[in-house]
C-alpha cells in the first residue's frame, strides 16, 4: 500500500499495518550435566583436638596426616577426578597437593574454601575455651551464635553453596575435589540435608574424609553411591 493511500486511513489501522512480525520465543537453555563434587577435609595435624587453629598460619600436616593424604590420593586417582581446588590454609594445600600429584590434575587455591573465621577464638586451646560462655553458646545454638569478630554458620553456608554453584557453572559434568575444613563441609552437608546449623553434632567429618555431592542447575544434593564412585 502506498504512503498516499495510508494517509487517508484511520490511525489505528495504519499502525496495525506497520506492526512488525512477532518474534519467535527464545529457546530454553539446555540443562548442564551435574558436576560431581568430592568435598575432602584436610588430613590430620599435630594440634588437632588440642587447639582451635582456625585460620592460624603455619599449621602443616603431621606424619599421620601425610600418610592419610597419600592413602586418599591413591584412591581418588582411580576415580577420574579432573581437578583439585583447595583452601589457602597450609594443611589443606599439603593435602590437596598430594591428591593432585597422584591424579596428575591441576591444583587451584580458592579463598571460598577457607576455614571458618573464628575471630578472637583463633589459636586458643580447648581447655581455655571450655570456660567461655560464648563458646558454650556457640556449641548449643549455632543458628544464632557466632565467634567473636568471626563468621556465622549461615555466612559459611552461603559462602560454600555459592562456590559450589560457581564450580558447576564452569565445570559442568566434571569430577572436582574441593579440599576444605570440617565446618565448611558440615555447612554444605546440612544445607543438602535440610538441617539447621544447630544439628552440627549429627554431622561428623573426620580428617581426610570424603563427602560426595551432585551439583546441578537445580541445586546441590548428596550424591548417590554410583555417582560418588
The pTM assigned to this predicted structure is 0.85
Q: Are strands 219-222 and 107-109 parallel, antiparallel or unpaired?
A: unpaired
121 in Cβ contact with 135 (< 8 Å): yes
pLDDT at position 21, please? Answer: 56
> Do 204 and 219 form a contact (C-beta atoms < 8 A)?
no
Contact 134, 162 (CB under 8 A): no
Q: Is 154 a catalytic residue?
A: no
For residue 14, the model assigns a pLDDT of 46
The better pLDDT of the pair 15, 48 is held by: 48
CA of 170: how far to CAs of 22, 164, 166, 208, in Å?
35, 10, 6, 26
pLDDT bucket at 5, cuts 50 / 70 / 90: very low
Where is 84: in which H helix or E strand? Answer: strand 83-86
Which residue segments constitute the domains of the chain, with CATH numbers given?
31-228 (3.40.50.1240)
- Residue 67: exposed, middle, or buried by beta-carbon count in 10 A (0-12, 13-18, 19+)? middle
For 126, phi then psi, to 5°, come to: -65, -30
pLDDT tens string 179-220? 999 999 999 999 999 999 999 889 999 999 999 999 999 999
220 sits in the region (left: phi over 0; alpha: psi -120 to 50; else beta) called: beta
pLDDT band at 18 (very low <50, low <70, confident <90, very high): low
Q: How confident is the model at residue 224 (pLDDT cuts 50, 70, 90)?
A: confident
Judge whether 42 counts as a catalytic residue: yes
| Separation CA 39–CA 45 (nearest Å) | 18
Q: Tabulate helix, strand, coil % of the chain (nearest 5).
A: 40, 15, 45
pLDDT of amino acid 179: 98
pLDDT confidence of residue 156: 98
pLDDT reading at 9 higher than 70? no
- Of the residues 42, 45, 85, 168, which is catalytic? 42
* Per annotation, catalytic residue among 45, 94, 115, 191: 115
How is residue 30 annotated by DSSP? P
Q: Give me the pLDDT at residue 23, please.
A: 65
Amino acid at each position: 500500500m502506498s504512503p498516499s493511500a495510508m494517509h487517508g486511513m484511520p490511525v489505528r489501522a495504519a499502525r496495525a499495518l506497520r506492526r512488525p512480525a512477532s518474534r519467535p520465543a527464545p529457546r530454553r537453555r539446555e540443562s548442564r550435566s551435574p558436576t560431581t563434587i568430592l568435598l575432602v577435609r584436610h588430613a590430620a595435624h599435630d594440634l588437632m583436638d588440642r587447639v582451635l587453629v582456625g585460620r592460624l598460619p603455619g599449621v602443616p600436616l603431621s606424619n599421620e596426616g601425610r600418610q592419610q593424604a597419600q592413602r586418599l590420593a591413591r584412591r581418588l586417582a582411580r576415580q577420574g577426578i579432573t581437578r583439585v581446588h583447595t583452601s589457602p590454609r597450609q594443611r589443606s594445600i599439603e593435602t590437596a597437593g598430594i591428591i593432585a600429584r597422584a591424579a596428575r590434575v591441576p591444583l587451584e587455591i580458592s579463598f571460598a574454601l577457607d576455614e571458618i573465621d573464628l575471630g578472637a577464638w583463633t589459636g586458643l586451646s580447648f581447655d581455655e575455651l571450655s570456660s567461655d560462655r560464648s563458646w558454650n553458646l556457640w556449641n548449643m545454638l549455632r543458628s544464632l551464635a557466632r565467634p567473636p569478630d568471626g563468621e556465622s554458620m549461615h555466612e559459611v553456608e552461603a559462602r560454600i553453596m555459592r562456590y559450589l554453584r560457581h564450580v558447576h557453572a564452569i565445570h559442568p559434568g566434571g569430577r572436582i575435589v574441593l579440599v576444605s575444613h570440617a565446618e565448611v563441609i558440615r555447612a554444605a552437608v546440612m544445607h543438602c540435608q535440610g538441617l539447621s546449623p544447630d544439628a552440627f553434632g549429627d554431622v561428623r567429618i573426620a580428617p581426610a574424609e570424603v563427602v560426595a555431592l551432585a551439583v546441578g542447575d537445580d541445586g546441590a544434593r548428596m550424591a548417590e553411591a554410583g555417582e560418588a564412585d
